Amino acid sequence: MSILINKNTRVVTQGITGKTGQFHTKMSKEYANGANCYVAGVNPKKAGESCEGIPIFASVKEAKQQTGVNTSVIYVPPPFAAAAIWEAVEAELDLVICITEGIPVRDMVEVKDKMRKAGSKTVLCGPNCPGIITPEEIKIGIMPGHIHMKGRIGVVSRSGTLTYEAVGQLSDLKLGQSTAVGIGGDPVNGLKHREVLELFMNDPDTDAVIMIGEIGGSDEEAAAEWYARECKNKKPVVGFIAGVTAPAGKRMGHAGAIISGGKGTAQEKLAVVEACGIRTTKNPAEMGKLLKSVLSAAAATAIAPPVGAALLFADPGLCRKRPLVSLPRNI
């Protein structure tokens, strides 16, 4: 099992005939079950043609009617990307993954407001994100497939590059991933850390999670507080926050990664996340090692005999159950 996407997902590429869309659709189609998953593209001016062996339709709605797509990936240029998101939402797709960077904030505010007013059930990931991958099943986006391996660790990140770094470390440690989700760093976006963390907590095939955040906003704090409050049987989560040395008001690449009014600093985020029971590191090169150590500690705790547990002695003369430690009756 995985979250959000799997080998049964059917994908339409909006912007398939552009240079970026064509390249990454080709790469994604060649990965794992991609040939079965990528079934449609959209370009109103080239409807009836094909690209990389994938039929092109005039609209997302038509693509859905003809092929049964349930997920869209968007490589449309920034001025038109918000309209492309709304087109996919109107077609009532389950999931829309917007890779496009540089969408005007006002455009995203408007499309998010329209989604809210329409009561849309479509899940939006991005914009300005690397996409989502379920290793050895399907990848939707721009991440390098070869660094991933199938396993039971979830990854959620605002940063594309740090997503790859975390995944690479996990794979080197033979810790495969269930799903890796890049949610993007724009100030107005779809999926948040908390929502993805909840999906991982409810996924029976995910055993632990790496959560990667950045300065700016309060998404990481909200996710950590939800984790502390709602997760009864907690799966281990470790975290990293980028931008520890950033001065106030400094932008860090992403439009959403800006400290404002003293809020959203790395130190503030680290304090809240640690207080909520999530172990963190300030060194991005140690994310994988930290998770492995947390898993090892959890495993050791699980198999350690409780205080006062009965032991069987190997000596036949002592072959009877005896308490290792005698405890007072009132304990």
Query: DSSP assignment of 306-325, as one string?
Result: PTT-EE--SSGGG-S-EESS
67-115 per-position pLDDT tens digit: 999 999 999 999 999 999 999 999 999 999 999 999 999 999 999 999 9
Q: Are 108 and 81 in contact (CB under 8 A)?
A: no
Phi, psi torsion values for 107, nearest 5 degrees = -60, -40
211-256 per-position pLDDT tens digit: 999 998 899 999 999 999 998 668 999 999 998 887 766 655 555 6
- Tokens found for residue 34: 């991609």
113-161 per-position pLDDT tens digit: 999 999 999 999 999 999 999 999 999 999 999 999 999 999 999 999 9
Query: Backbone dihedral region of 301: left (phi > 0), alpha (psi from -120 to 50 degrees) or beta?
Result: alpha
Tell me what pLDDT residue 216 has.
87
Between CA 250 and CA 232 the distance in angstroms is 37
Residues 6+ away with beta carbon under 8 Å from 96:
71, 72, 74, 85, 88, 89, 122, 123, 124, 125, 190
Between CA 190 and CA 216 the distance in angstroms is 16
| Domain ranges for the chain | 6-128, 143-297
167-187 per-position pLDDT tens digit: 999 999 999 999 999 999 899
User: Are β-strands 54-57 and 38-42 bridged in parallel, bridged antiparallel, or unpaired?
Assistant: parallel
Which homologous superfamily is 6-128 in? NAD(P)-binding Rossmann-like Domain (3.40.50.720)
| Band of residue 259 on the pLDDT scale cut at 50, 70, 90 | low
Residue pointed to by tokens 């931008």: 243
- Which range is least confidently modeled, 22-26, 170-174, 256-260? 256-260
Q: Is 251 helix (H, G, I), strand (E, B) or coil?
A: strand
Helices (DSSP H) in the chain: which residue ranges? 19-29, 34-37, 60-67, 78-90, 105-118, 160-172, 193-201, 219-230, 266-275, 287-303
Residue pointed to by tokens 């932008």: 251
| Band of residue 260 on the pLDDT scale cut at 50, 70, 90 | low
Give the predicted TM-score (pTM) of the model: 0.89
Tell me what pLDDT residue 247 has.
75
Cis bond upstream, residue 127 (ω within 30): yes
Tell me if residue 254 is catalytic: yes
Kindly provide the b/e burial profile for residues 101-125, where b requires at least 16 CB atoms within 10 angstroms of the residue's own CB: bebeeebbeebbeebeeeebebbbb
**CATH number among 3.90.1150.10, 3.40.190.10, 1.10.12.10, 3.40.50.261, domain 143-297:** 3.40.50.261
Residues 6+ away with beta carbon under 8 Å from 242:
159, 162, 212, 213, 214, 215, 252, 257, 266, 284
Active-site entry in 24, 148, 193, 254: 254
Between CA 92 and CA 255 the distance in angstroms is 28
Between CA 84 and CA 60 the distance in angstroms is 9
Residue 207 burial by CB count (10 A; 0-12/13-18/19+): exposed, middle or buried? middle
296-316 per-position pLDDT tens digit: 998 888 765 555 444 333 444
- Tokens found for residue 203: 């996924």
Tell me what pLDDT residue 317 has.
42
